[in-house]
């Protein structure tokens, strides 16, 4: 069995008058996503524990194999770029 695990984190959006009162996703032509939706399977998963509804960044840490109880640093960027000196 082959598996593609696709996470569309942050995909929801507001509707806009300029887009005929649709969200960007509703307005866009999405043939590849439509194909995946029609041929794939969908389900629920508890990314941390059944009794915890995590924020997006906590859930993504868990999906990548990190324990969010050990590695979650708060609601700021987890991976910050290293700053180089200006020389």
In tens, the pLDDT along 28-76 reads 999 998 998 898 887 788 888 888 877 888 888 888 888 888 888 776 5
Residue owning tokens 């996503």: 33
pLDDT at 12: 77
pLDDT at 80: 55
Write down the pTM of the prediction. Answer: 0.53
Sign of CA dihedral 15, 17, 22, 27: negative
In tens, the pLDDT along 69-83 reads 888 877 655 555 555
Instruction: Please tell me the distance from the alpha carbon of residue 60 to that of residue 68, in angstroms, as a whole number.
Output: 9
**Residue 19: HSE in the Cβ half-sphere, 13 Å Cα cutoff:** 12
15 in Cβ contact with 23 (< 8 Å): yes
pLDDT at 84: 57
In tens, the pLDDT along 1-33 reads 787 777 777 787 899 999 999 999 899 999 998
Domain segments of the chain: what residues? 13-42, 44-87
Backbone angles phi, psi at 8, to 5 degrees: -100, 65
Tell which residue, 33, 34, 37, 58, has the closest CA to residue 47. 58
């Amino acid at each position: 069995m082959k598996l593609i695990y696709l996470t569309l984190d942050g995909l929801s959006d507001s509707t806009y008058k300029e887009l005929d009162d649709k969200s960007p996703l509703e307005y866009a032509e999405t043939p590849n996503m439509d194909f995946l939706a029609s041929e794939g399977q969908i389900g629920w998963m508890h990314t941390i524990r059944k009794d915890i509804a995590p924020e997006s960044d906590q859930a993504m840490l868990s999906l990548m194999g990190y324990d969010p109880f050990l590695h979650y640093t708060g609601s700021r960027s987890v991976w910050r770029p290293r700053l180089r000196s200006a020389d």
